[in-house]
Amino acid sequence: MAVVQISRIQHRRGLATDLPQLAAGELGWSIDDQRLYIGNGTVADGAPAVGNTEILTVGSSSFTTALSYYYKGYLGDSTPIVTGASGNFTRTAQKKLDDFVTVKDFGALGDGSTNDTSAIQRALDELYTDSDKDDERARRVLYFPAGDYRINASLKIPPFAHLRGAGIGKSVILMSGSATAMVTKDDEGNTFGTIGNSAATTPTNIQLEGLDIRNGSSYGGLSIDNATKVYVSHCRFQGAYAAGGADNALGKGITVRSTNTLKCANIYFDHCQFGNFARLIDMSMDVTNVRFSNCDFDTAYNGVIIGSEWDGSTTNGMSVGPRDLQVMSSSFSNIGQQAIYVKSKQTVEAPSRNILSHSNFFASTVANNFEGVGTLNEVATIQYDQDECSSTLDFFERHDLRRTDGSSHMNIAPEVQGIARTSHKIKQVTLADNTSTATTTGLEYSAGSGNLGKSIVLNYKIERGPRTRVGSFTISVNTNGISFNDDYTESGTSPVDVGVTLTATLGRDDSTTTDRSVIVKYQTTNTGTAATMDAEPTLIV
């Protein structure tokens, strides 16, 4: 209703405890707590209730009585939702806003220039390690609004911390000091070396998502210390390493640190990016059940390196080393040395590691020492120096021959080498008709360094007109050279013989590296029809 008359301006002032019932439209100023009220008027005059209404000012008390809220749903007043058992359940605006907490509530600015270290750490400590740390209601999700948060000391991540950003390239945490960007700690504030003292809760159930974590120095991204159940998704870890640079044991994008009594376990990375660290992933200490899925590994000296510092039980936290680590459905590019390297000190008995690479893509820019394809210094894309490892259904873009000088090309660069089993997808080749001399099928595999113990099995199907052969062609390489055996069954119109003979030879001797290649060859009879062979190779390397 329009205001039709103003008869007078009324106001009162005094202490909050002396506030009387104000007349309709009369103002009352509470001097001691700096709050302002206006009288409602009478019900007869049309007021919903007799009383005083607080006018929102700077002095209002945290919205406790100033505003109320209840959920209306996306249709609002047009289709009311009843939120309580009888009528709507209301909450103060303060409580509603407290459901959502950001680092800016603790003083972080994210402006790209301010040092936000203490503000972010204060948020972590107040939410997860303060006096009410054991109350689940205190463990809120800590949000990082889009911004550039500068830090100069490691952020210490406590148990049950849940850090959420706006996404890669949006919520950026940039380390400018000489330290790892993030480490884990217990709920008493103890870091690696003292984690778990005084019956503290060790790091567990930690979640990071939607964060862009960068280190501008030659140090690491995230050190998972004495932690279990760590979940990282849609994050980027980026360092200062440039392609062509040297190895650096301090430049670990992701690492773990354990003790004999507090081992790391159950670490999961999903849809994450790792780039520009000397070692993208470096795990030597005890850790079990680590998964990398749908991740991108780009620009490093080493990709995923396992056991580079492992020495058995002589060092605390290295009693068994990393075990049960899997990299799945991920991509690797611009990595000078091996994409995945499981190392062995060969001075102590190695544990079973169970390192698995499955359905990954390895670009041609991997494992060539940043020299380009077809170079002498190429190494295996995957190197397994420990047992119980495998590569299944991986795709290797590199298929070039290594070079010993400017014109001579020798054996092919190895895809997987060491102690492992690797299986490949099916490849189809055409076997020409009437080939009386042994001719290469185009199927060629590295025989491995020293040519010892290589075993290759081709499960295949050959179709030639109305005849079919299904078989298993086994090749063995040892100190005596190469041997092979073709075990098959044939079917079709009589005679069922498809007229194909498979053989294998060693070729492309490389005197520099003592490596050779296994070349699969064939001969065919004259039937007037070429044959088609589908081959699925499995190698014990």
The model's pLDDT over 218-251, given as tens digits with 9 standing for 90+, comes to 999 999 999 999 999 999 999 999 999 999 999 9
- Examine residue 5 and state whether it is found in any structural domain, yes or no: no
Q: What does the pLDDT average to over 309-322?
A: 82
- Indicate whether 237 and 290 sit together in one domain: yes
- Indicate whether 188 and 166 sit together in one domain: yes
User: How high is the pLDDT of residue 251?
Assistant: 96
Buried b (16+ CB within 10 A) or exposed e, 332-345: bbbbbbbbbbbbbe
Number of Cβ within 10 Å of residue 249's Cβ equals 10
* 3 state DSSP class of 89: coil
CA distances from 360 to 149, 363, 398, 512 (A): 33, 10, 13, 30
Contact 486, 441 (CB under 8 A): no
Ranges 97-101, 421-425, 524-528, most confident: 524-528
pLDDT over threshold 60, residue 63: no
- Indicate whether 181 and 77 sit together in one domain: no
Q: What is the mean pLDDT of the chain?
A: 89
- Provide the residue type at 311 as one letter: D
Contact 332, 363 (CB under 8 A): yes
Residue 132 CB-half CA count within 13 A: 8
User: How high is the pLDDT of residue 1?
Assistant: 42
- Indicate whether 384 and 459 sit together in one domain: no
Choose the final residue of a domain: 390, 423, 456. 423
- Examine residue 57 and state whether it is found in any structural domain, yes or no: yes
User: How high is the pLDDT of residue 509?
Assistant: 64
* Bigger pLDDT: 95 vs 144: 144
Choose the final residue of a domain: 423, 453, 484. 423
Which token pair is 285?
């200490």
- Residue 492 belongs to what domain range? 428-540
- Examine residue 4 and state whether it is found in any structural domain, yes or no: no
User: How high is the pLDDT of residue 96?
Assistant: 81
- Provide the residue type at 288 as one letter: T
445 pLDDT tier (thresholds 50, 70, 90)? confident
User: How high is the pLDDT of residue 371?
Assistant: 85
- Indicate whether 82 and 142 sit together in one domain: no
Which token pair is 132?
């009410």
- Indicate whether 322 and 396 sit together in one domain: yes
pTM here?
0.84
- Examine residue 3 and state whether it is found in any structural domain, yes or no: no
- Indicate whether 318 and 403 sit together in one domain: yes
Which token pair is 234?
């849609």
258 pLDDT tier (thresholds 50, 70, 90)? very high
448 pLDDT tier (thresholds 50, 70, 90)? low
- Examine residue 247 and state whether it is found in any structural domain, yes or no: yes
CA distances from 471 to 435, 441, 486 (A): 20, 16, 7
pLDDT single digits (tens) 395-429: 999 876 666 565 566 777 788 888 888 888 899 99
- Indicate whether 443 and 518 sit together in one domain: yes
* Rounded-to-integer distance, Cα 30 and Cα 42, Å: 22
- Examine residue 218 and state whether it is found in any structural domain, yes or no: yes
* Rounded-to-integer distance, Cα 236 and Cα 533, Å: 43
**3-state secondary structure string across 263-286:** CEEEEEEECCEEEEEEEEEEECCC
Contact 253, 233 (CB under 8 A): no
Contact 30, 46 (CB under 8 A): no
User: Nearest-CA neighbor of 205 among 224, 227, 187, 237?
Assistant: 227
pLDDT over threshold 70, residue 342: yes
Count the helix, strand and coil residues of the chain and give each as a percent rounded to the nearest 5. Answer: 5, 45, 50
Which token pair is 119?
């503000």
| Beta-bridge partner residues of 518 | 445, 506
- Indicate whether 129 and 255 sit together in one domain: yes
Percent of all residues in the chain with a pLDDT value above 90, rounded to a whole number? 60
User: How high is the pLDDT of residue 280?
Assistant: 98
- Indicate whether 529 and 415 sit together in one domain: no
Compute the radius of gyration of the chain from its Cα atoms. Answer: 34
Contact 170, 212 (CB under 8 A): yes
* Rounded-to-integer distance, Cα 510 and Cα 517, Å: 9
- Examine residue 296 and state whether it is found in any structural domain, yes or no: yes
In 36-135, which residue ranges form alpha helices assigned H by DSSP?
93-98, 117-128
Q: What does the pLDDT average to over 495-511?
A: 87
pLDDT over threshold 50, residue 535: yes
pLDDT single digits (tens) 114-128: 999 999 999 999 999
pLDDT over threshold 90, residue 288: yes
- Indicate whether 305 and 160 sit together in one domain: yes
Helix (H) / strand (E) element for 461: namely strand 454-464
* Rounded-to-integer distance, Cα 28 and Cα 383, Å: 80
pLDDT over threshold 50, residue 174: yes
User: How high is the pLDDT of residue 13?
Assistant: 87
- Provide the residue type at 236 as one letter: R
Choose the final residue of a domain: 423, 441, 472. 423
The CATH number covering residue 477 comes to 2.60.40
- Examine residue 1 and state whether it is found in any structural domain, yes or no: no
DSSP label of 97: H
CA distances from 344 to 106, 456, 481 (A): 47, 24, 27
* φ, ψ (nearest 5 deg) of residue 117: -55, -55
| Beta-bridge partner residues of 305 | 282, 341
- Indicate whether 399 and 447 sit together in one domain: no
Burial class (CB in 10 A: 0-12, 13-18, 19+), 447: buried
Specify the number of domains making up the chain. Answer: 3
349 pLDDT tier (thresholds 50, 70, 90)? low
User: How high is the pLDDT of residue 451?
Assistant: 44
